[in-house]
Every structure is written in C-alpha cells, then in structure tokens.
Amino acid sequence: MTRQQQVVIVGGGVIGLLTAFNLASEVQSVVLLDRGNVGQESSWAGGGIVSPLYPWRYSPAVTALAHWSQDFYPQLGERLFAATGVDPEVHTTGLYWLDLDDEAQALAWAERENRPLRAVDISAAHDAVPVLGSGFSRAIYMADVANVRNPRLVKSLKAALLALPNVTIHEQCEVSGFIREDGAVVGVQTSAGAIHGDQVVLTAGAWSGDLLKSLGLDLPVEPVKGQMILYKCASDFLPSMVLAKGRYAIPRRDGHILIGSTLEHEGFDKTPTESALESLKASAVELIPALADAEVVGHWAGLRPGSPEGVPYIGRVPGFDGLWLNCGHYRNGLVLAPASCQLFADVMLGRAPIIDPAPYAPTGRRSDEGALNPTLIS
C-alpha cells in the first residue's frame, strides 16, 4: 500500500487504538470507529498483567508476541505519559505463582526462554508478601512481571490520537457491514452512514467474528466472559502480584487490588453475577486473608475475544482485498497489544516484521486450529 491512503479501523479497544497510533505516522489518514466510547470494553475490564497467566502453557506464537511486548511496555508507558499527561502506570511488582501442578514445566520453560523465573522457599514468599495466606506450600517467582493500569492506558492512547491531525475518532458509531466493489472491501456501513477507506482493519475484539459473518466468513473469535472484583487498601498493602488456582491479585500503585477472574461462556452477556462475586471473594480471602475485612468497591465483567489457543489473527484476509484483521487476543490482549500492533503495521506497510508473521496470518492457519473459512451462511 502507499502512504496516500485512508485506513478505517473498526473497534477502539487497546488493539484498535494502538493500531491507529502505529499507522498514523505512515499513512495519509486514519479513521477509528467505535460503537460505544473507545476503550470501554475488554480493554477497560481486564486486569492488565503484562504476562500470560501461565506463560509456559502457551504456544511459541503467543510467547513471541508476549516477550516483545514485555520489553517494550515500560517505554510505551513513558512515551504516552510524556505525550498526554495520563500515566498508564506500568508497575513492575513481580509475580508469585503458588502451589503449581506444573512447576517443573514452568522452570524448564524459563530456562529455555531465558526468563528470570525461579523456585523460592515459601517462607521467602511470606517474607516478601506478609499478607499472603498460610495455605500454600510452594512458590515460584518472576521479578520482572509488571501490570499496566489498563483504563488509563486506553485513556492515554485516546488522548495521544486526538492530538494527531490526521486521525479522526468517531464514537457511538456502530459498524453493521462492509462495502465491497469488485470483490475488494472499500469501506464500512455504519450507524452514521457509509465510510470509505482504502484499507479496512477489523479490531472489534469479541465482536470480530460476528461482523465477518456479513461477508460469509467464519472466524472462530467468540466472547468469553470474565468477572473481576476490586478492593482499596493502603498503597503498600500488597507488594507483589500473587496467583493460585487460576485466581490472582494485582496491586495498583495507589493500593487498589484487583482480584480475577472467571471464565464463562455466556455469549455477549456481561452482567456481573452474585455467584461470581462470592467465588472471587473466596479466592481473594484464600490468597490474602486480610481482605475478609475489606469492602469490595467494584465488580464488573468484560468479554475477552476468545480464539483457538489464544493466538490472534494478524494480517490480510485472503480473497478480500483491502480487509485486514488484528483480533482474537483472548486472555492476553493487553500484554500482546504492543507487539501485535507493531507486527500488524509492519505487515500492512511491507516493512521487515519484528517477528515471523506466519503463525498469525489468517491465511496460514490450519483448519483444525481455526482457519478463516469462507462458509455458507444463509
């Protein structure tokens, strides 16, 4: 593609916002559309751990994006803070995994990938995190794991985009379908009318699969509901992230503690439930008994863009000139966003890619991994 092009981006979560940010300096104009306000869906609702929860359980494709992003996050945070005055608070606290069943695999992975993950004595974990519950017997620790305050990250990205003269953001603008000419995609139909572009990028998170149905395409990206609860403690209450049995506690710099999360297949329903509240509170107290006396100050749900093995789709849609995907980041969209959006821009602009794009190419996925299948939808 040439620099003289207009790119239309559908969906303003962290992936759409960062895609827009990366393309803005390289193309004539960028139009970002969101049916609500940008950054209010999964990218707001997530916990913001800058690592997959159990990184050793993922494929090399997810690992490659995660490692690139983890190294990049501190400078992204500083750059956005300097540009906008909104600090995404990239907070390096380290993470303790407790009583893992696959500790040996975790340590072998760390050795292979050269990551600073090591087994620690449980008493050392208690010394480092005095509020940790007493019901655990083993721990492994990685010191360089951060969390990002994702509601601020998306706010800061929006502010950075609003300052760019060739970027337009249309909020409350729902995309209902694609405009085609001679087989190519040349724009989108929206609640505000037709919007044309030379290239259209789908970054609509959990809704991406649904939107592609209008083109007769079957993309296995589906909503996976996740609920979280929030406490407010003293700023030094929890010095590190802790994780056991799939549940975690994340400290923000100001003492807010997030506890997550559920994994539920409930379609597009994001109603918080009483049963999840009770279950998350029980996990919170098991991890950190002192939270039994604390008040829950927030409870919400978000929809992760679930995809096969959590490997996102990044690249051109075969058979539909002008249509591109950057979606399906499942449980790791916040950590994977910087690498995914950099890789996306590399592929779209024909630059040397930061990592091999093949595992994410919609064209290249085997059908048993969930390829993009043209399908007959009546």
Ligand X SMILES: Cc1cc2nc3c(=O)[nH]c(=O)nc-3n(C[C@H](O)[C@H](O)[C@H](O)COP(=O)(O)OP(=O)(O)OC[C@H]3O[C@@H](n4cnc5c(N)ncnc54)[C@H](O)[C@@H]3O)c2cc1C
Distance CA 270, CA 247 (A): 19
Distance CA 66, CA 55 (A): 9
Length of the chain: 378
Least Å distance, CB 60 to ligand X, is 18
Least Å distance, CB 69 to ligand X, is 9
- For residue 302, count CB atoms less than 10 angstroms from its CB and return exposed for 0-12, middle for 13-18, buried for 19 or more: buried
Identify which of residues 104 and 263 has a Cβ nearer to ligand X in the complex: 263
Q: Which residues contact 340 (CB under 8 A, 6 or more apart)?
A: 15, 18, 65, 69, 312, 314, 326, 329, 333, 360
Identify which of residues 305 and 359 has a Cβ nearer to ligand X in the complex: 305
Least Å distance, CB 123 to ligand X, is 28
Least Å distance, CB 19 to ligand X, is 9
Least Å distance, CB 182 to ligand X, is 24
Identify which of residues 29 and 203 has a Cβ nearer to ligand X in the complex: 203
Which residues make up the interface to ligand X (CB under 6 A)?
A: 10-16, 33-36, 38, 40-43, 45-49, 174-175, 203-207, 211, 226, 228, 260-261, 302, 304-305, 327, 329-335
Identify which of residues 186 and 211 has a Cβ nearer to ligand X in the complex: 211
Identify which of residues 32 and 110 has a Cβ nearer to ligand X in the complex: 32
Using only the alpha carbons of the chain, give its radius of gyration.
21
- List of E strands, 171-327: 175-181, 184-190, 193-196, 199-202, 217-218, 222-232, 241-244, 247-251, 256-260, 296-306, 313-316, 323-327
Least Å distance, CB 275 to ligand X, is 16
- Specify whether the CB–CB gap between 36 and 170 falls below 8 A: no
Identify which of residues 312 and 359 has a Cβ nearer to ligand X in the complex: 312
